[in-house]
Chain A
Amino acid sequence: MVPETAGMTRLHLAIFAVLLAFLIILPFFVYPVFAMKVMCFALFAAAFNLLLGFGGLLSFGHAAYFGGASYVAAHAAKVWGLTPELAVLCGTAAAAFLGLVIGSLAIRRQGIYFAMVTLAFAQMVYFLALQLPFTGGEDGLQSVPRGDLFGVFSLQDSIPLYFFVLTITFSGILFLYRIVHSPFGQVLKAIRENEPRAISLGYDVNRYKLMVFVLSATFAGLAGAVKSQVFQLASLTDVHWAMSGEVVLMTLLGGMGTIFGPLAGAAIVVTMQNYLATFGAWVTVIQGVIFVLGVLLFRKGLIGVLAQWLKRPL
């Protein structure tokens, strides 16, 4: 791996700036709700990538935080009548708490056992979402009001809502970038590369693992909470294990352990789901073929391969 320099940081910041400029003009060219969906999933994948790509922990239960937060945020906005930003905060806090509980148990195991423990807990959350009275069972929570930001600005129209979502998701992704490049992030990478050595250097590995787990769950929750405000619903799809699988695919397709990979992966997967919908039964077949090609041709993910080609970490 190429060592990081100030030049690299400048390159990343430049890409972020271009990306931001692109996202600001995007809603005037593509359908805003679709663009918001892509951004929510980009944040979700980026949060997942923090855990998998930089912490080296494969969680197979991230739908629990994503979906759990979307249920809490939807409930907060619909039943408690909170404003969107408070509803999103409630959802995120719930995901953080869930992450703390599940994480503190799951990090005691490694590898496949870690993945299975997270999956098991996620299935429990799914069961709760199906059975608890406030979740609406298999119909989910419907007609969540879009509300007024800070109680003042109406988010009824798609364009103001778009910029609300853009602000949250973009800052979330920048924050994740900051975490990765902080001393904390360096320790994480050290643990990922060689855990016994990190222990011998005196790091309390479990504390770091738990912290990254909670951070990842929190941001996954943030993405889920925002999504519930965009679509005005929270449903079982969000907590289903297939959602956990989807985020793994997004991250792998884009490039695990890269900064921009999960964003690209999320964009590709969501675009496919959206624009292939008219092909009917062929959707799943086309998706499958693309994934097979992705795995065969871009072993390190699209952005991973691009980074290798440019000899710069992206």
Chain B
Amino acid sequence: MIRTLAVATTLGALTATTALAQGIDVKLGVLNDRSGVYADLSGEGSVVAARMAVEDFDAAAKGLNVTIISADHQNKPDIGSNIARQWYDADGVNAILDVPTSSVALAVADITAEKNGVLINSGAGSTALTREQCKPTTIHWTYDTAALANGTGASMTNAGGKKWFFLTADYAFGHSLEENTAAVVKASGGEVVGTVNVPFPAQDFSSFLLQAQGSGADVIGLANAGGDTVNAIKQASEFGITQAGQKLAALLFFVTDVHALGAQTAQGLSLTEAFYWDQNDQTRAWSERFMAIHGKQPTMVQAGVYSGTMAYLAAVQAVGSAKDGAAVAAKMKEADIEDPLFGTVKVRGDGRATHNMYLFQVKSPDKSTGEWDLYEQIATISGEDAFLPMLPECDFTKK
């Protein structure tokens, strides 16, 4: 009996050593925008974040041979899906990371499910990724438009901003952002005093801003993104809207955008993010290392790529192989994850990673001590409140 046990242990130890020597091959593909409008908030920074995750996970010592490749999807779904297919078919990629731009993300999510890889999305905001088009192999980290709407809408209404006026970009994304936020505002006891649809893309917001100013609203919600939001904020600053007492709320905005505008122009702007570099010692320490490599502070998207990669590698190690994407994704959903950047993260059955979201306000220039000292934390929104509830048909853990 004892002998058999001894033999078994030796055999076990032997197999363990061979497994360790051979290692588990993991190939990660960072697919994002590296030349267009989202290059700043994802781009090369996300690749840096993924590399840092591999380093911090101590992958080599744990028997994981991780390689990282990256490509530019130019925000075009056909280019993105072509690269994703090629990565899975020809290059042996196991997981795709980041993927901003919803149209590309949805296309890549489909292909990932078909090829049994894992998509850990950090850059795209579409809630469809874990709802209408949910897949067992999709993990959606960091944020979605509903979480941003919930964060900004509920917190600002509770803080006294009862009357809202929306500037809405006139396309599906703008309308859904406005609808989500308006619903939250009403549920929190606020009211919507007016809405104006702005053609997309727009350069001149003056007449819309004047309407908003004259509406008597407490909060002006900007249901748009990217260049439109930047233009609206710049012009609002020229009209002195925030100085006059109205609050400006950007419903989809990132720290790199605020940095580009500067505290002078963006002061008083409220926005929701999942991560800010200057939150606690851990985020500061990590961001300092990131800054040393990349030269900019990380965005929440880049931080999300880091955390998502860490969680993915842990799951691969636990499963013992990266080949079966569905199994790895299921592993990621098993237990709560203690993450250095996002705190406690729970990956739900539909692939939605939930964690705290934070409402920030941009500091005025006299309070800001450096070019990256931009935010003041106003409120914390718990994961359950921030994200939409799970659709029962999307709960892949119950099957």
A interface residue numbers (CB < 8 A to B)? 31, 33-34, 37, 130-131, 136-140, 142-143, 158, 227, 231-233, 235-238, 273-274, 277-284
B82 touching A231 by the CB < 8 A rule?
yes
18 extra interface residue pairs, beta carbon distance < 8 Å, beyond A138-B171, A232-B107, A281-B43: A37-B82, A139-B102, A140-B77, A142-B103, A142-B106, A142-B133, A143-B110, A158-B89, A231-B77, A233-B107, A235-B77, A235-B78, A237-B76, A238-B78, A273-B79, A274-B82, A277-B72, A283-B74
Which 6 residue pairs of A and B lie closest in terms of their CB atoms, listed nearest first? A137-B172, A280-B34, A277-B71, A281-B35, A235-B77, A237-B76
Knowing A139-B126, A231-B81, A233-B81 are in contact, say whether A283-B107 is a contact too (CB < 8 A). Answer: no
Q: Report if B39 contacts A (CB, 8 A).
A: yes
Inter-subunit contact B172/A34 (CB<8 Å): no
Chain A CB within 8 A of B259 CB? no
Question: B77's closest neighbor in chain A, by CB?
Answer: A235
Pair B83/A227 contact, Cβ less than 8 Å: no
Q: Could you jot down 8 A-B contacts, CB within 8 Å?
A: A37-B82, A138-B102, A138-B171, A232-B81, A233-B107, A235-B78, A236-B103, A237-B77
Closest beta carbon of chain B to A248's beta carbon, Å = 18
Whether A231 pairs with B78 at a CB distance below 8 angstroms is: yes
Contact indicator A235/B34 (Cβ below 8 Å): no
Q: Which residues does chain B contribute within 8 Å of A158, judged by CB atoms?
A: 89
**A residues within 8 A CB of B98?**
none
Within 8 A of A (CB), among B28-57: 34-35, 39, 43-44
Residues of B bordering A, CB below 8 Å: 34-35, 39, 43-44, 69-74, 76-79, 81-83, 85-86, 89-90, 102-103, 106-107, 110, 126, 128, 133, 171-173
With A131-B171, A280-B43, A280-B44 already in contact, the answer to whether A34 and B82 are too (CB < 8 A) is: yes
A235 contacts across to B, CB distance below 8 A: 76-78, 103, 107
Q: Given that A235-B76, A280-B43 are known contacts, is A138 also in contact with B103, CB under 8 Å in the complex?
A: yes
Query: Could you say which residues of chain A place their CB within 8 Å of the CB of B73?
Result: 277
A179 to B306, CA, bound (A): 56
- Cα A281 to Cα B73 in complex, Å, equals 11
Q: Are B102 and A34 in contact (CB under 8 A)?
A: no
Contacting A227 at CB < 8 Å: which of B44, B78, B79, B90? B78
Please state if A233 and B78 are interface contacts (CB–CB under 8 Å): yes
Interface pair A143/B72, CB less than 8 Å apart = no
Determine the chain A residues whose CB is within 8 A of the CB of B85 once the complex forms.
31, 33
Query: How far apart are A160's CB and chain B's nearest CB, in angstroms?
Result: 15
Q: Is the interface of B mostly helix, strand, loop or mixed?
A: helix
Residue of A at shortest CB range from B101?
A138
Q: Report the bound CA distance from A130 to B201 in whole Å.
A: 12
- Chain A proximity of B140: nearest CB distance (Å): 15
- Cα A312 to Cα B191 with chains together (Å): 74
- Neighbouring A residues of B103 by C-beta, 8 Å: 138-140, 142, 233, 235-236
Our pick among B35, B83, B89, B126 for the contact of A284 (Cβ within 8 Å) is B35
How close is B201's CB to chain A, nearest CB, in angstroms? 11
Question: Residue A283 contacts which of B35, B77, B86, B171 (CB distance < 8 angstroms)?
Answer: B35
Distance A284 CA – B128 CA, assembled complex (angstroms): 31
- The verdict on A137 contacting B171 (CB below 8 Å), with A34-B86, A280-B72 known, is yes
Contact check: which of A139, A273, A279 meets B106 at CB < 8 Å?
A139
Q: Classify the interface of chain A: helix, strand, loop or mixed.
A: helix
Q: Which residue of B lies closest to A70 (CB)?
A: B78
Q: What is the distance, in angstroms, from A148's C-beta to the closest C-beta of chain B?
A: 16
Give the chain B neighbours of A279 by CB distance below 8 A: 72
Are the CB atoms of B71 and A31 closer together than 8 Å?
Answer: no
In the bound complex, what is the Cα–Cα distance between A37 and B76 (angstroms)?
Answer: 14
- A186 → B minimal CB distance (Å): 37
Shortest beta-carbon distance, B228 to chain A, in Å? 13
The residue on A at minimum CB distance from B90 is A31
Tell me which residues across on chain A come within 8 A of B76, comparing CB atoms. 235, 237
Partner of A278, one of B70, B78, B82, B102: B70
Option from A131, A142, A274 in Cβ contact (under 8 Å) with B110: A142
Q: Is the CB of B72 within 8 A of A281?
A: yes
Would B126 and A33 count as touching, CB distance under 8 A? Answer: no
Specify which chain B residues have a CB less than 8 angstroms from the CB of A278 in the assembled complex: 69-72
Q: Which residues of B contact A238 (CB under 8 A)?
A: 78
Minimum distance in angstroms from A33 CB to a CB of chain B? 5
Chain A residues with CB under 8 A of B172 = 130, 136-139
CA distance A88 to B83 in the complex (A): 24
Contacts of B83 in A (CB 8 A): 274, 277
Q: A170 vs B106: C-alpha distance in the bound complex, in angstroms?
A: 31
How far, in angstroms, from A131 to B172 measured CA to CA in the complex? Answer: 7
Q: Give complex CA distance A40, B86 in Å.
A: 18
Contact A233 to B39, CB < 8 A, known contacts A136-B172, A138-B103, A143-B110: no
A140 contacts across to B, CB distance below 8 A? 77, 103
Question: In the complex, which residue of chain B has the Cβ closest to the Cβ of A279?
Answer: B72
Q: What distance in Å separates the Cβ of B117 from its nearest Cβ neighbour in chain A?
A: 16
Give A147 to B128 CA distance when docked, in angstroms: 23
Closest to B76 in A: A237
Complex Cα–Cα for A232 and B126 (A): 19
Q: Report chain B residues within 8 Å CB of A142.
A: 77, 103, 106-107, 110, 133
CA distance A137 to B83 in the complex (A): 23
Q: A137-B172, A138-B173 are in contact. Are A277 and B79 (CB under 8 A)?
A: yes
Write the nearest CB–CB distance from B309 to chain A, whole angstroms: 19
* Contact partners of B39 in chain A: CB under 8 A: 281
Assembly CA distance A273 to B106 (angstroms): 21
Whole-angstrom CA separation of A166 from B78 in the bound complex: 19
Residue among B74, B103, B133 with most chain A CB within 10 A? B103
Q: Which residues of A contact B35 (CB under 8 A)?
A: 280-284
In the complex, A268 Cα to B78 Cα: how many Å? 17
- State the Cβ distance, B284 to closest chain A Cβ, in Å: 28
Interchain CB contact under 8 A, B82 and A143: no
**Distance (Å) between the CB of A137 and the closest chain B CB?**
3
Q: Is the CB of B89 within 8 A of A31?
A: yes
Question: Inside 8 A of A34's CB, which chain B residues have their CB?
Answer: 82, 86
List of B residues within 8 angstroms of A280 by Cβ: 34-35, 43-44, 70, 72
Which A residues are in CB contact (< 8 Å) with B107? 142, 231-233, 235
**Please, how many angstroms separate the alpha-carbon atoms of A90 and B286 in the complex?**
54
List the A residue with the shortest CB-CB distance to B71.
A277
Q: Specify which chain A residues have a CB less than 8 angstroms from the CB of B173 in the assembled complex.
A: 137-138
Interface centre among A139, A143, A236 (most CB of B within 10 A): A139
Bound: A237/B89 CA distance, A? 24
- Complex Cα distance, B367 from A25, in Å, reads 67
